Amino acid sequence: MIVKTSDGREVPVEMYKIKIIQNVNLIPAEERLKAIENAGYNTFLVRSKDIFIDMLTDSGTNAMSDNQLGAAMLYDDAYAGSESFYKLANAVGKVLGFKYVLPTHQGRASEHLIAKVFVKEGNIVLTNYHFTTTKAHIELVGGKVLEIFGEEALNTQSKYLFKGNMDIQKLKDAINKYGKDKIAFVRMEATTNLIGGQPFSVENLKQVKKVCSDSGIILVMDGSLVSENAYLVQQRESGYKNKSVAEIVKEVVSLADLFYMSARKNSSVKGSIIATNQSDLYEKIKPWLPVYEGFLTYGGMSTKEIEAMAVGLEEMVDQHVASSTIEQVKYFVESLRVQGIPVITPPGGLACHLDAKRFVPHISQDQYPAGALTGALYIASGVRSMERGTISMDRDKDGKEQFADLEITRLAVPRRVYTISHIEYVVDRLLWLYKHRELIKGLTFVDEPPILRFFFGKLKAIDNWGRKLCDAFKKDFGNKM
Ligand SMILES: *Cc1c(COP(=O)(O)O)cnc(C)c1O
């Protein structure tokens, strides 16, 4: 909830209290330097015990409510016909309005089944922006992804409120160019992840739907972050101010022919669903569920998680739950922006994104500015973020670097996990880092895997800059911090 302070500021106040806690540890600067050097400046390779605040991702790292944990204990472990499944199916009907539901073990498993059934060799999927795992599954079955976004989508200093919108004219042009038979489906991703958690408007979605219906193409929605998109619509789109998040979610998902979501994000459990009202679409996917995931009434999920998801779906459309991460992110981004720290605007869902091209402009793209900034932040704070820049791209077939559109250090804010004081700490350390940014230099690979190198690749600091940064930090804060 946003509280207005007596001096006129707006501060988000968490609408939960903490009942179960996990202790965290802030190891001294000297040990942090050692940990990041051992990890080859790759935060995926740092152990959790060495991390103070973990902002790597919001996937599978969200906090469950007491009601979710309580419900989990009512699990019915039947191989077939589990009562837990019927509770989930009821919740899907009530919250999302879908008749048919297929549970899978996580978002990419839903993408695997959808790609397998609907994408043929040589097909094209039109989307507002790709997601890593979605693209991988479409390409694995011989399809291609074509992104159709508007002019503002990649502008990191924008005021445009719906950067997740599809460009309708370009969509029509693409359908004319390739023909409807070549297009497997149109995919709209809610709170578009890789361009900074940016939403689409309902108006845009309706136009996309109309083009799809007119040309007989199915509209698939990735709703992993659907409640955040709905909250942003409520805050930003005219005509939605007085509608509840629950009403907006229902309206948004009703426009999709086929819906899927990773429940590791929205709804705070470990799992995923595919849902639809169209029996022909459901029947096409259904036979593959027991082949790749599990029987119809559990798919790839444990029955405990299924019970918790039934409760989590209702919670995710609650105003306080849907708004909590977004308001924390907004506070985070604004606190940095007013002090001149380069962040992506407007703030979206999911995370605070640092624009490394502007934070460390002296580092060229072939020396990985976002990777260097991600490592530097860990040394200066014990905070783990994720590189989303050129390291996250692989080289082309000839070994040439493919430079990313954006060099981003992403600080994800998992749901109901951190408080404003954690965010204040990160903001303060980023201010310190910005003042000392000239100490940060580039990185160079010492061990570079050929594919998805960002997961396991190891790098080192050029001119041993990590040591110099660590010494400067200790001079200001002492070694204990
Ligand atoms: C995380 C995510 C996925 C993949 O979900 P997993 O459960 O991590 O496999 C797919 N789409 C979007 C938009 C996501 O954010």
Q: What is the pLDDT along the chain (481 residues), one digit of tens a residue?
A: 999 999 999 999 999 999 999 999 999 999 999 999 999 999 999 999 999 999 999 999 999 999 999 999 999 999 999 999 999 999 999 999 999 999 999 999 999 999 999 999 999 999 999 998 899 899 999 999 999 999 999 999 999 999 999 999 999 999 999 999 999 999 999 999 988 999 999 999 999 999 999 999 999 999 999 999 999 999 999 999 999 999 999 999 999 999 999 999 999 999 999 999 999 999 999 999 999 999 999 999 999 999 999 999 999 999 999 999 999 999 999 999 999 999 999 999 999 999 999 999 999 999 999 999 999 999 999 999 999 999 998 888 899 999 998 999 999 999 999 999 999 999 999 999 999 999 999 999 999 998 889 999 999 999 999 999 999 999 999 988 8
Tell me which residue has its CA closest to atom 6 in ligand 1.
Answer: 107
Domain termination site, one of 287, 316, 345: 316
Domain termination site, one of 299, 316, 333: 316
**Catalytic residue list contains 477:** no
Same structural domain, 10 and 39: yes
Same structural domain, 400 and 461: yes
Write down the pLDDT at residue 64: 97
C-alpha of residue 113 to centroid of ligand 1, in Å = 14
Set 131, 185, 259, 332: catalytic member: 131
**Containing structural domain, residue 344:** 2-58+321-477
Same structural domain, 184 and 86: yes
Tell me which residue has its CA closest to atom 10 in ligand 1.
Answer: 107
Same structural domain, 286 and 334: no
Same structural domain, 119 and 137: yes
d(CA 44, CA 93) in angstroms, rounded, equals 38
**Catalytic residue list contains 428:** no
> What CATH number is associated with residue 117?
3.40.640.10
d(CA 376, CA 461) in angstroms, rounded, equals 10
d(CA 178, CA 170) in angstroms, rounded, equals 12
Write down the pLDDT at residue 479: 82
Same structural domain, 141 and 263: yes
d(CA 263, CA 193) in angstroms, rounded, equals 15
Strand partners, 261: 273
Terminal alpha carbon distance of the chain: 32
C-alpha of residue 92 to centroid of ligand 1, in Å = 19
Write down the pLDDT at residue 437: 98
Give me the helices (H) in 392-464, please: 420-435, 453-456
Q: Which atom of ligand 1 is nearest to the CA of 189?
A: 13
Question: What letter would DSSP give residue 315?
Answer: H
**Catalytic residue list contains 9:** no
Same structural domain, 272 and 399: no
Same structural domain, 189 and 295: yes
Same structural domain, 47 and 119: no
Element (H, E) at 261: strand 258-262
**Catalytic residue list contains 187:** no
- Cα–chain center distance at 151: 22
Write down the pLDDT at residue 13: 95
**Catalytic residue list contains 222:** yes
Tell me which residue has its CA closest to atom 12 in ligand 1.
Answer: 224
Set 162, 260, 368, 454: catalytic member: 454
pTM: 0.95
Same structural domain, 87 and 13: no
d(CA 298, CA 230) in angstroms, rounded, equals 28
C-alpha of residue 454 to centroid of ligand 1, in Å = 17
Give me the helices (H) in 95-166, please: 107-118, 132-140
**Catalytic residue list contains 162:** no
Q: Are the C-beta atoms of residues 52 and 26 closer than 8 Å to each other?
A: yes
Same structural domain, 104 and 33: no
Q: Which residues of 259-283 are buried (b: 16+ CB within 10 A; e: fewer)?
A: bbbbbbbbbbbbbbbbbbbeeebbe
Same structural domain, 375 and 287: no
Write down the pLDDT at residue 405: 87
Domain termination site, one of 316, 343, 360: 316
Three-state DSSP class for residue 165:
coil
In the chain, the number of structural domains is 2
> What CATH number is associated with residue 41?
3.90.1150.10
C-alpha of residue 274 to centroid of ligand 1, in Å = 13
